[in-house]
Amino acid sequence: MSNNLINTILIVGSGYMSREYVKVLTSMKMEIIVVGRGKEKILEMKKLFPNAKYYSGGLEFFFQNNYNYPDKAINTSSIENLYETNLLLIENGIKKILVEKPGDLCTKNLKLLNKFSKEKKVIIQIGYNRRFYENIIYFKNKINKNEKILSAHFEFTEWVHKIDPKDYSKSSLSKWIISNSSHVIDTAFYLIGFPKKITTNVLLKNKINWHKHGSIFTGSGISIKNIPFTYHSNWASAGRWSIEILTDVSRYYFRPMEKIFRQKIGTIHLEEILINYKYDSKFKPGLYLQTSSFLDSNFDSFVSLNEQIKMIDLYNKIGNY
């Protein structure tokens, strides 16, 4: 391994997220090494981004046959392989890792990974790209500094009719709130603070074959910033992902989550706040600024392993896992 490959990064995986990262990194003029399992997906990526270097056969095979690679990596493996892939990266000298959410489905593995990474002095950050949406950044930097958040509400309804169980592992499906819905929950609590008190309710168990834990999720609580919140998601009915933040001046709607709308006190009119979507209009929203922050070692907006361990416990409570 060479630690002198400053402008080079290793990407593990050759699926959808890997392609989105390669698109971003190509625009940054980074040297890219992509390691995947099967040849078919690698060949597809090579047609789209011919300037990157590609290796099939899996990560273990790559390390056995290559000795010149960077010390930073992005792990886009499938959820059930994220943990083992992280271990393999650490064992082979990678010192800075951006791993796709949720890092793992259980706190046990995250605690072991946290211990191992500290022993090896490895930085691991979990990527929740919605934290890096330009509208979320705008809200935190412009609105939240001038207005007081009074309360919040969010919804993480999933379109189960659009989800083909054949496309995912049973483990990721059975904990779909962690696997997917956590994007919304994480963003909501990123804005208002982690819950210090929460009451959860789960109904319609066994309604969805691949998610028998429940189909209707409601709850309320108070965050560490003393902001009351509620949520209501019904996977057996209509709905969508959304966050609502109520301040002393206006009510803000992130619906769709890539946009931001304002309803001023005393009005019913919803006004879209038009901001400069410099990056989210060109790349998968949030991914450019997330990747840039990772490369610059600016980890303020990332989820650490310690934080994710607490969040997994919270997701388990919300989802009745």
Return per-residue pLDDT of the chain as tens, 321 residues. Answer: 555 678 999 999 999 999 999 999 999 999 999 999 989 999 999 999 999 999 999 999 999 998 889 999 999 999 999 999 999 999 999 999 999 999 999 999 999 999 999 999 999 999 999 999 999 999 999 998 899 999 999 999 999 999 999 999 999 999 999 999 999 999 999 999 999 999 999 999 999 999 999 999 999 999 999 999 999 999 999 999 999 999 999 999 999 999 999 999 999 999 999 999 999 999 999 999 999 999 999 999 999 999 999 999 999 999 999
CA distance 258 to 260: 7
Torsion of CA 191, 135, 31, 9, to 10 degrees: 10
- What is the 8-class DSSP label of residue 304? E
Place of tokens 């980890």: 299
The one-letter code for the residue type at 219 is: G
Contacts of 23 (CB under 8 A, 6+ apart): 49, 283, 284
pTM, to two decimals: 0.95
